[in-house]
């Protein structure tokens, strides 16, 4: 939201439950009800406009996960625990949403580009998670979470031909 924008007074009525909810809502940088209304409307605008470009959509999707990130930060501060697995998810999942939301799908080439972007991101996520299996315990709140959920993926990977991929095979 522009901080130097001209402010226009607006009057309206809200149902009491929405008023109570917004009054009690914790929004970064918003302390008064007017601040919260401005932030809520700015968030709605980001939701509406967020698909215009990938960076804007990514910012919006990261904002949507902010409450979870903040609660996890508090849990980690209190417990001393940290999860690389969950941190990885918090990095990749908003990127998936942003790619889908900002995609302009007018042609087959557009669809191919989106497919490549999502496949690249999904495989980066899979690689990061599989790296957590290199040690007996993952850097996660549940040290076995990756091992317990990766058995089929590992089995599939083992069935792939052991031949060395030819150079540029990954570009097809």
Tens of pLDDT, residue by residue over 44-100, are: 887 777 667 899 889 888 988 988 999 999 999 999 999 999 999 999 999 999 999
The pTM of the whole model exceeds 0.95:
no
pLDDT at 1: 53
Read off φ and ψ for residue 140, nearest 5 degrees. Answer: -150, 165
pLDDT at 157: 87
Tokens of 79: 């417990």
Dihedral (CA of 3, 101, 129, 116) sign: negative
Q: What percent of the chain has pLDDT over 70?
A: 90
Place of tokens 């967020």: 50
pLDDT at 97: 94
Dihedral (CA of 68, 69, 72, 73) sign: negative
DSSP class per residue in 11-28? -----HHHHHHHHH--BT
pLDDT band, very low/low/confident/very high, at 166 (cuts 50, 70, 90): low
133: Cβ contacts below 8 Å, ≥ 6 apart: 146, 147, 150, 154
Over 70: is that where the pLDDT of 165 sits?
A: no
Domain boundaries along the sequence of the chain? 39-158
Q: How far apart are the first and last CA of the chain?
A: 42
């Amino acid at each position: 939201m522009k901080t130097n924008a001209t402010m226009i007074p607006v009057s309206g009525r809200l149902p009491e439950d929405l008023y109570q909810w917004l009054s009690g809502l914790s929004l970064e940088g918003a302390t008064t009800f007017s601040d919260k209304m401005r932030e809520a409307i700015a968030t709605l605008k980001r939701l509406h406009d967020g698909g215009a470009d990938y960076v804007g959509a990514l910012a919006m999707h990261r904002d949507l996960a902010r409450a979870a990130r903040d609660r996890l930060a508090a849990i980690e501060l209190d417990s001393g625990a940290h999860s690389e697995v969950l941190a990885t998810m918090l990095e990749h999942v908003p990127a998936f949403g942003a790619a889908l939301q900002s995609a302009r799908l007018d042609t087959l080439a557009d669809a191919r580009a989106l497919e490549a972007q999502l496949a690249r991101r999904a495989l980066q996520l899979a690689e990061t998670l599989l790296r957590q299996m290199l040690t007996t315990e993952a850097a996660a709140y549940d040290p076995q979470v990756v091992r317990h959920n990766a058995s089929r993926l590992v089995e599939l990977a083992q069935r792939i031909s052991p031949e060395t991929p030819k150079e540029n095979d990954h570009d097809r």
